[in-house]
Structure 1
């Protein structure tokens, strides 16, 4: 492959910076993403005749289809419905643009790609430090939740939590037995978790049990009785400590209060308004089951329903506060198929490689599963696939973690083929480990 060493180091630096600045510099991740894309497009042109450069799209067809699904679906919808809203392609186009980035990254040494793990740790640490330094008078409260100037508290807290846990998932390829490295990653976990805690994002906290289970599977906490006992005890202590804090108790009690008020007919609460939005989305689907009302037309449809007394005017919104229900209303059954294809394509290869004997492949697999799982869970109560700062990060993380797997498999094959005196059986074992 034709690739200058200076561009290799530039790409490595950008992979570190992209997650590191996501929550503290508006547009920073996007700048890094498009800089990597420019290198990727240049590499694609320079290597267009190199055999196998574009084979990654065929080797991972579900990933390719998942990244393309929404943009293709929206494009066909707008052609069929006879309207043009280019803004609806904006955030979701990052997943399409991640494909040439993946083709580039899979050609690089996996060691260089692992820098993204330190970028996640830096991003979690940065937001934790910022939460302490920028604390307003009276501290962060429910009335003044931690966020930044370019997003609200929910995606802010969700992203902080994801970066925090990715710091630990990617520890698997940086040597978890190195106490200096492990200590730095655990500090990043605490910092990002603290920022999420201050943001008060209840929906995002639903991902905590899933992250813990994935970590247990990655580091084999459940493989032996002693490890299981220690892990269970640590989880119970940490969980009990968190549940005993005033902020979490208050946020949970608010959910109970919202449901209690809902039973009394008072549905102007956070939970009540969401449930009304979701029910309205279901109603829209019953009238437009195939392709919905059109991407970007939800607010107009809800407004028309409010005028006819079918829904309350308070829920008229551009989004349904759920990726599933927004897609259901705006794109119908076709959109739901696109969403499921996106979920499947962004997770299936990570799931297949999760049991690899190679530490780098295993860590990348579980990190990729954490990204995929968080996208689904966060998307239950908020539209994850709308904020550009979120989609650009998700697209880059998914492409990079899959590229680590592919690059490492290539390196294992090359090492097995070039080892002098390697027997046919050992070579076959090395290849099997690479593909496992």
Structure 2
């Protein structure tokens, strides 16, 4: 399918700027995303009678189901429980809008879709430079953690870390051995990691070992003994250097200290309060197992429980600081099933294509797995699917990476057909 060159160029530019401005310009990623959505809806209308335009929604049915799952569950819940809170659809609606975006992007040349990798690198570099150059008096400390004006330190640090690692994952569809490609991507990794370090988001750091393992498999670091020794040595040295820094040592040491204080009866620590919040979510689920108390009603329910003396007033919060426990309390078993469908829809096709020999498909698959697994890991200790700046970025990343796999498969099939047709009879 042929699109106007201006449409292709505009979409390519938007794919670069969307991740590049995520942590630096409030709403910037959303503006880029909605321009792409507008282009996608226009393309869908124009091509509505075109055979096969919408067929990818069936081909990648788990992706389609996953993007719809949470929104449909919220709609069904509000219908059954008899209330109406439209703002609860806001952040999650980005995943539904990812479907027309995917339909548009899969029609573009895969080389244009690669620009999103450079956008991730630019975003990680930008936030790293900003953190270094614009430090407050006394520098970034535990009392003054790095964030921006429109989010807190946890999703900020998690996103910076993700952008930094994605800049290395996406190097696989360029030329990893070309120093002109390698050096800026490594600088982006350092920039994103530096911003995450200054944010002190220790929950997000749990994703680092997973990222390293995925990178090792993608680039076959573990395939040869020599490579394995070199990579292991590099990882040990890097981990040792990071763990020796005062900030990381202090942030990690707080966890066993909090646990020790809990055993002594003091559970008003950061870890203790979070565990209390998760336990309260479990208690709510036991009383409302099917549909939960209703998405958006957690703070009211916790407030009522605090008045009855069932929980401490200190844990009354709009969210449970975990995607799973928030869903468990607010949406019950129906919500948990929808959340699992969402995770499955994000990851399954990247998992299936991870062994492809083509470097573009392979890189897109491992990049997609990094996005999917980090969403789960980050969601263990914070509500990832609440900040719009996060959901819009995730929706665009997943749609683009899956579109790249689909577009590249068609390109390879076309090359194979052309080669076969050119052979003498």
Question: So what's the TM-score if we normalise by structure 1?
Answer: 0.96
CA–CA distance in 2 between the matches of 1:421 and 1:334? 52
- Pairwise mapping of residues 261-340 of structure 1 onto structure 2 (< 5 A)? 261-340=261-340
Deviation string, structure 1 residues 182-211 (Cα, Å, up to 9, x no partner): 011000000110000000000000000000
RMSD of aligned residue pairs (Cα, Å): 1.0
Pairs aligned (count) = 424
Tell me the residue number matched to 1:432: none
Tell me the residue number matched to 1:88: 88
Shift in Å, 1:2: 5.2
Tell me the residue number matched to 2:60: 60
SS in structure 2 at match of 1:50? coil
8 Å CA contact retained: 1:153, 1:201: yes
Tell me the residue number matched to 1:131: 131
1:146 and 2:140 are equivalent in the alignment: no
1:73 and 2:73 are equivalent in the alignment: yes
- Pairwise mapping of residues 119-268 of structure 1 onto structure 2 (< 5 A)? 119-268=119-268
8 Å CA contact retained: 1:2, 1:47: no
Question: So what's the TM-score if we normalise by structure 2?
Answer: 0.99
8 Å CA contact retained: 1:323, 1:383: yes
Large movers: runs of 4+ above 3 Å: 420-424
CA–CA distance in 1 between the matches of 2:397 and 2:167? 12
Tell me the residue number matched to 1:45: 45
CA–CA distance in 2 between the matches of 1:370 and 1:346? 11
Deviation string, structure 1 residues 46-89 (Cα, Å, up to 9, x no partner): 11111110011001000000000000000010001110000000
Tell me the residue number matched to 1:30: 30
CA–CA distance in 2 between the matches of 1:392 and 1:2? 27
Shift in Å, 1:167: 0.2
8 Å CA contact retained: 1:172, 1:360: yes
Tell me the residue number matched to 1:357: 357
Tell me the residue number matched to 1:101: 101
CA–CA distance in 2 between the matches of 1:422 and 1:357? 24
Shift in Å, 1:3: 2.1
Deviation string, structure 1 residues 14-64 (Cα, Å, up to 9, x no partner): 000000000000000000000000000010011111111001100100000
169-178 vs 414-423, greater mean Cα deviation: 414-423
8 Å CA contact retained: 1:3, 1:43: no
Tell me the residue number matched to 2:118: 118
- Pairwise mapping of residues 424-435 of structure 1 onto structure 2 (< 5 A)? none
Structure 1 residues not aligned, in runs of 5+: 425-436
Shift in Å, 1:423: 6.7
Change in 2 beyond 3 A, CA 1:86/1:421: closer
Tell me the residue number matched to 1:398: 398
8 Å CA contact retained: 1:165, 1:211: yes
8 Å CA contact retained: 1:2, 1:43: no
SS in structure 2 at match of 1:75? helix
